[in-house]
């Protein structure tokens, strides 16, 4: 689908934290110009992955590249960071700087600074310019971090839970900004727990569970491939018939069963009909349903 | 024209955009030769990924509904729809309206109605395929 070269790529990326494999062989490809949503439960390995991409922690194994440069090479990592706008999970600033001073200070580092984006973010995020950065609420902190990342004229944005603490109006502004930046050709990779916002603006999704990518695809393709299949039998549901066919668990209610299927829906339907199913229905599913079935399993 | 996107519907957004463009043409809200919104503008208006809008436009071009002119934008193709098609759509709407009314009387939920419609489409497709195989 995407023929564009990957801006971010990872193969078998690993990171051990204590006794836990925080990232356990992650494969990832984020095509140029895409908006990729990085999804997973708490502790799935999202932040650790992002820290490795940004050169803040070294992988224990595997390979990661951004703009073709190795992420674990110090000099290359500086070159990566020059072209990458980053919003960390914990939004921290120099506490005694005012918002205005923080912006002026950051601007000085980036010759590509975008005054138009600075103005747009100031206007739409309604940031209090005179307030000390250390006294910002969580949401205001997120907004300031976004302003600084969006205005620096980057080629790639890596955002770790950028909408954390934002109110619905600010989230809408954020989504509009992301779409506009993608329209300018920037590549955007962001982690989120808000499936709806991901569903709205992302063309790629990477779903990570226990340190591994369990789904990494174009969102359109996922929506085309995944179907909820509902089956009704004249008698009891022959549950064993469906072992290993679906994603997640077979849900049985009386003589009916439903199952999320990735891909060969017809094969499942044929098998059900052969076993005497009286009714087989397919329904499209939302990203939320895909998420719940894919990572919601036995924990 | 106004686009309304439902991101959490199971239908891919590019398909929703395609359907809405086609619907606008069928109802005459968009006429042959008229220009569609620019990709970036439409992406920002609908808060949709520009790649998704571009994909919808490419598919519409592939289906012969619109024409993409390099650097100039997207235009509805001449002769793409006709009054006859608009009339056919009107009749189809009436038929579906009647079907919905019947299903309401049967106290079916909207989800069930959709399932019935999808199932009938699938069945119809299967019958057609079976017939064409026999030939």
Tell which of A163, A188, A222 closes a domain: A222
Predicted local confidence at residue A297, as pLDDT: 58
Domain extent at residue A53:
6-222
How many domains is chain A partitioned into structurally?
2
pLDDT (tens digit, 9 = 90+) per residue, B63-91?
A: 889 999 988 899 999 877 655 566 777 88
Q: Do residues A115 and A239 both lie within one domain?
A: no
Q: Do residues A116 and A94 both lie within one domain?
A: yes
Which positions in chain A touch B48 (Cβ < 8 Å)?
179, 200-201
Instruction: Give how far A197 is from chain B: nearest CA, Å.
Output: 8
pLDDT (tens digit, 9 = 90+) per residue, A184-210?
A: 999 999 999 999 999 999 999 999 999
The CA distance from A255 to A250, in Å, is: 13
pLDDT (tens digit, 9 = 90+) per residue, A26-42?
A: 999 999 999 999 999 99
Predicted local confidence at residue A1, as pLDDT: 47
Q: Do residues A89 and A212 both lie within one domain?
A: yes
Q: B135: pLDDT confidence band, cut at 50, 70 and 90?
A: low
Evaluate whether residue A241 is within a structural domain: yes
* Cβ neighbourhood burial of A104 (10 Å; 0-12, 13-18, 19+): exposed
Number of H helices, E strands in chain A: 10, 14
Q: Do residues A236 and A279 both lie within one domain?
A: yes
With an 8 Å Cβ cutoff, are B49 and A35 in contact? Answer: yes
With an 8 Å Cβ cutoff, are A283 and B55 in contact? Answer: no
Backbone angles phi, psi at A260, to 5 degrees: -90, 125
Q: Which residues of chain A have pLDDT under 70?
A: 1-3, 296-299
Q: B111: pLDDT confidence band, cut at 50, 70 and 90?
A: confident
Q: Do residues A71 and A210 both lie within one domain?
A: yes
Rg (CA), chain B: 18
**CATH number of the domain at B7-76, please?**
1.10.10.10
Q: B112 in contact with A at a CB cutoff of 8 Å?
A: no
Predicted local confidence at residue B84, as pLDDT: 59
Neighbours of A209 (CB within 10 A): 20
Which residue reads 């619109």 in tokens? Answer: B66
Q: Do residues A239 and A181 both lie within one domain?
A: no
Tell which of A222, A244, A262 closes a domain: A222
Q: Do residues A73 and A183 both lie within one domain?
A: yes
Backbone angles phi, psi at A136, to 5 degrees: -80, 145
Evaluate whether residue A1 is within a structural domain: no
Predicted local confidence at residue A299, as pLDDT: 43
Which residue reads 């790529």 in tokens? Answer: A9
Q: Do residues A201 and A252 both lie within one domain?
A: no
pLDDT at B122 over 90: no
Q: B69 in contact with A at a CB cutoff of 8 Å?
A: no
B118-122 average pLDDT score: 88
Q: Measure CB to CB from residue B14 to each of A35, A202, A220 and give the nearest one.
A: A220
Q: B26: pLDDT confidence band, cut at 50, 70 and 90?
A: confident
Q: Do residues A231 and A217 both lie within one domain?
A: no
């Amino acid at each position: 689908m995407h023929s564009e070269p990957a801006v971010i790529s990872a193969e078998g990326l690993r990171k051990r934290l204590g006794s836990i494999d925080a990232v356990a062989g992650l494969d990832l490809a984020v095509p140029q110009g895409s908006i990729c949503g990085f999804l997973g439960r708490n502790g799935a390995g999202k932040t650790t992955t992002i820290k490795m991409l940004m050169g803040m922690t070294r992988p224990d194994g595997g390979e990661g590249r951004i703009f073709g440069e190795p992420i674990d090479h110090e000099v290359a990592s500086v070159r990566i960071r020059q072209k990458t706008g980053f919003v960390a999970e914990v939004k921290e600033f120099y506490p005694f700087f005012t918002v205005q001073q923080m912006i002026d200070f950051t601007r000085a580092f980036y010759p590509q600074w975008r005054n138009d984006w600075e103005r747009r973010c100031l206007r739409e995020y309604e940031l209090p310019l005179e307030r000390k950065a250390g006294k910002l609420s969580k949401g205001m902190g997120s907004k300031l971090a976004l302003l600084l990342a969006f205005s620096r004229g980057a080629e790639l944005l890596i955002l770790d839970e950028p909408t954390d603490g934002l109110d619905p109006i600010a989230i809408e502004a954020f989504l509009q900004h992301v779409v506009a930046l993608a329209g300018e050709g920037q590549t955007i990779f962001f982690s989120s727990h808000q499936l709806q916002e991901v569903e709205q603006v992302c063309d790629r999704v990477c779903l990570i569970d226990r340190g591994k990518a369990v789904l990494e695809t174009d969102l359109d393709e996922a929506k085309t491939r995944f179907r909820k299949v509902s089956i009704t039998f004249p008698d009891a549901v022959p549950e064993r018939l469906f072992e290993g066919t679906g994603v997640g668990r077979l849900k049985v209610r009386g003589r009916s069963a439903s199952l999320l299927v990735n891909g060969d829906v017809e094969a499942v339907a044929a098998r059900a009909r052969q076993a005497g199913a009286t009714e087989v229905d397919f329904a499209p599913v939302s990203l939320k349903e895909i998420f719940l079935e894919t990572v919601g399993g036995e924990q | 024209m106004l686009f309304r996107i439902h991101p959490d519907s199971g239908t891919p957004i590019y398909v929703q955009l395609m359907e809405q463009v086609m619907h606008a043409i069928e109802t005459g809200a968009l006429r042959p030769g008229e220009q569609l919104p620019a990709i970036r503008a439409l992406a920002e208006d609908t808060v949709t990924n520009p790649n998704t809008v571009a994909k919808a436009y490419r598919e519409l071009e592939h289906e012969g509904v619109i024409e993409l002119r390099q650097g100039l934008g997207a235009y509805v193709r001449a002769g793409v729809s006709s009054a006859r098609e608009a009339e056919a759509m009107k009749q189809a709407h009436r038929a579906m309206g009647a079907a919905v009314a019947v299903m309401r009387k049967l106290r079916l939920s909207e989800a069930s109605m959709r399932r019935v419609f999808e199932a009938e489409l699938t069945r119809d497709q299967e019958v057609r395929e079976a017939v064409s195989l026999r030939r």
